[in-house]
Chains A and B, each alone.
Chain A
Amino acid sequence: MTLTIPHQQRLPLAIAALGFLFLGLFLLYPLFNVFGASVLDGDGEKFTFANYVKILGRPFYRGAVANTLMIGVAATITTIVISVPFAFALARLPVPGKAAIVALAAMPLVLPSFVSAYAIVLLLGRAGVVTQWLNSWGIGFGSIYGAGGIVLVYTLTLYPYVLLPTMAGFKAVDVSIEEAAQSLGSSPRRTLWTVTLPIVVPSILAGGLLVFIETLENFGVPFVLAEDMPIFAVEAFKLFVGETAPNPSSAGVLGVLLILMTSLVLLIQRRFLANRRFATGARSAPPILKVGPGLRIAATVYCWSVVLLALVPFFAIVVLSFMEFRGPVLHPNFSTANFTALFERSTRPLLNTLMFATLAAIGVTLIGVPIAYVVTRLRSGLAAVLDVIATLPFAVAGTVLAIGFVVSFNSGWLILTGGPFIMVLAYTVRKIPFAVRSSSGILHQIDPSLEEASISLGRSPLQTFARILVPLMLGGIMSGFVLTWVTIASELSATVVLYSGQWRTLTVVMFQALEGGGGGIATAAASTLIVVTLVPIALLYRLIRRYELAA
Chain B
Amino acid sequence: MTGIVIEGVTRTFGTVRAVDGVNLTVGEGEFFTLLGPSGCGKTTLLRMIAGFCELDEGQIRFGTKRIDTLPAHTRDIGMVFQNYAVFPNLTVAGNVAYGLKARKVTAAEVARRVEEALSLVQLGGYGERWPHQLSGGQLQRVAIARALVIRPQVLLFDEPLSNLDARLRVSMRAEIRELQKSLGITAIYVTHDQEEAMSVSDRIALMQSGRLEQVGAPAEIYRQPASRFAAEFMGTTNLLEPKALGLSGAGRVSLRPEALRLDAEAPAGWPRLSGTVAHVEILGPITRFDVRLADGSVIRVASLDEPHRTLATGAQVTLAYDPARVTVLA
A binding-site residues for B, Cβ under 8 Å: 1, 6-8, 447, 449-450, 452-461, 463-464, 468, 471-472
Contacts and interface: CB of A to CB of B under 8 A. Distances in A.
A1 B78 CA distance: 25
Nearest to B78: A456
B73 A452 contact: no
A458 B98 CA distance: 9
Contact of A457 (B51, B89, B98): B98
A303 to B, nearest CB: 35
Contact of A452 (B69, B79, B89): B79
B146 interface: yes
Contact of B52 (A1, A8, A464): A8
Interface in B90-132: 98-99, 102-103
Contact of A456 (B79, B83, B88, B89): B79
A8 B83 contact: no
Interface string B30-64: 00000000000000000000111010000000000
B246 interface: no
A447 B85 CA distance: 8
A453 B79 contact: yes
B81 interface: yes
B51 A453 contact: no
Contacts of B147: 456-457
A471 B89 contact: yes
A449 B81 contact: yes
B97 to A, nearest CB: 10
A463 B74 CA distance: 13
B87 A456 contact: no
B273 interface: no
A196 to B, nearest CB: 34
Interface residues of B, number: 32
Contact of B89 (A1, A8, A455, A468): A468
- For A6, A455, A464, A471, the residue with the greatest tally of chain B CB atoms inside 10 Å of its CB is A455
Contacts of B78: 456-457
B71 interface: yes
B196 to A, nearest CB: 20
Given A7-B51, A454-B98, A471-B89, 18 more contacts: A1-B69, A7-B71, A8-B72, A447-B83, A449-B82, A450-B85, A450-B87, A453-B81, A453-B85, A453-B86, A455-B51, A456-B51, A456-B73, A456-B79, A457-B99, A457-B146, A457-B147, A468-B87
A458 B87 contact: no
B320 interface: no
Contacts of B150: 457-458
- For B51, B74, B89, the residue with the greatest tally of chain A CB atoms inside 10 Å of its CB is B89
Contacts of B52: 8, 452, 455
Contacts of B146: 453, 457
B77 interface: yes
Contacts of B99: 457-458
Q: Which 5 A-B residue pairings sit nearest by Cβ, starting from the closest?
A: A457-B99, A458-B102, A7-B71, A453-B85, A449-B85
20 contacts: A1-B69, A7-B70, A7-B71, A7-B72, A449-B81, A450-B85, A450-B87, A452-B50, A452-B79, A453-B85, A453-B143, A454-B98, A456-B50, A456-B75, A456-B79, A457-B102, A458-B74, A463-B102, A468-B87, A471-B89
A6 B47 CA distance: 14
A289 to B, nearest CB: 34
Interface in B114-162: 143, 146-147, 150, 156
A223 B193 CA distance: 68
A339 to B, nearest CB: 45
Contacts of A460: 71, 73
Contact of B87 (A6, A7, A453, A463): A453
Contacts of B77: 456
A505 B71 CA distance: 49
Contacts of B76: 458
- For A7, A449, A457, A468, the residue with the greatest tally of chain B CB atoms inside 10 Å of its CB is A457
Contacts of B70: 7
Interface in B138-197: 143, 146-147, 150, 156
A455 B52 CA distance: 9
Contacts of A450: 85, 87
- For B50, B52, B81, B86, the residue with the greatest tally of chain A CB atoms inside 10 Å of its CB is B52
Nearest to B156: A456
Contacts of A461: 73
Contacts of B75: 456
A459 B88 contact: no
A8 B51 contact: yes
B103 A458 contact: yes
Given A7-B51, A8-B52, A452-B52, A458 B73 contact: yes
Contacts of B73: 455-461, 464
Contacts of B83: 447, 449
Contacts of A458: 73-74, 76, 99, 102-103, 150
A454 B54 contact: no
- For B70, B73, B89, the residue with the greatest tally of chain A CB atoms inside 10 Å of its CB is B73
Contacts of A459: 73, 98, 102
B59 to A, nearest CB: 13
Contacts of B102: 457-459, 463
Nearest to B96: A457
Contacts of B79: 452-453, 456
Contacts of B71: 7-8, 460
A118 B82 CA distance: 58
Nearest to A472: B89
Contact of A6 (B50, B54, B82, B143): B54
A471 B85 CA distance: 15
A472 B132 CA distance: 14
A464 B101 CA distance: 13
Nearest to B75: A456
A449 B85 CA distance: 6
Nearest to A446: B88
B303 to A, nearest CB: 44
Nearest to A452: B52
